[in-house]
Structure 1
Amino acid sequence: MKAEFGDYLKQLREAKGLTINHLATAAGISGSQISRIENGLRGVPKPDTLRKIAQAIEVSYEELMEHAGYLPQQAPSSVNVVPEWATSKDKRDFRKMLEDDGELMFDGIPLDQEDKQRIKDVLTGLFWEAKQMNKRKQQKNDPESNK
């Protein structure tokens, strides 16, 4: 992943006509750090560093986060579908999980509606996956159960 991200960053930088030093100065990070990222000698940067690079190179932060592996490339198309095996209690638990509409933030910055929806989509998939795993464990521990 780190070499792939480095190649991607280099292509972006070159497409914008920036040198390593120009990007480093604009992002407020060292040129050697940019060079190590591009050459795969350094791991994928932290989200805070990605935010600085995104602003400096004038690409969306989300795009860099996706290419860095922090966000899924594309949300699964079935995330909003309730599995057939879900009971009414499972559905109630799911609704309760999504009811909390507190302010979602990342690095102290409130998320816009699109980002909130992406997070809900990911949480939806994880929720149903966890429920299914839990049901399998229950069936394994209690083979006579028809739940």
Structure 2
Amino acid sequence: MFLNGTAMSGQKDHGCIAGRARFLGPATTAPNFRFFAIRDEFPGLFPVDNGGAAIDGELYEMTDELLFDVLLPQEPRELEIGTITLADGSEVRAMILQPERIHAGDKVVDIADFGGFRAYQAHLAANSAASALLGL
């Protein structure tokens, strides 16, 4: 399973798989995706035919029970399990953004150029620190 958001190591939802899934290492998607932050709460991969980017994440081996009974029920309703291609050509499971499930008015930011969710989170933290420094 390719993880690219809040279930990755060090993220808020990692505890649901920690010690139960085997970390296989960092991984990167093929450059076939746009990557969106939804309400700045979680990211979503969206497959595209043109203008895609490679997105960083982590690869885990987990049982179907862990995936379907523990991880998936915690995933946001805007995501659905699917299959993606990694940079090395292998196909793995991942969560795919379902745009029709996004509520009108939700904040949606294209973060593909950051290359991954952690880089976007670092950007948000730096902006917050800059605003605090400037007294904004």
Of Structure 1 and Structure 2, the greater strand share is in: 2
Per the normalisation by structure 2, the TM-score is 0.24
Q: Which has the larger radius of gyration?
A: 1
Of Structure 1 and Structure 2, the greater helix share is in: 1
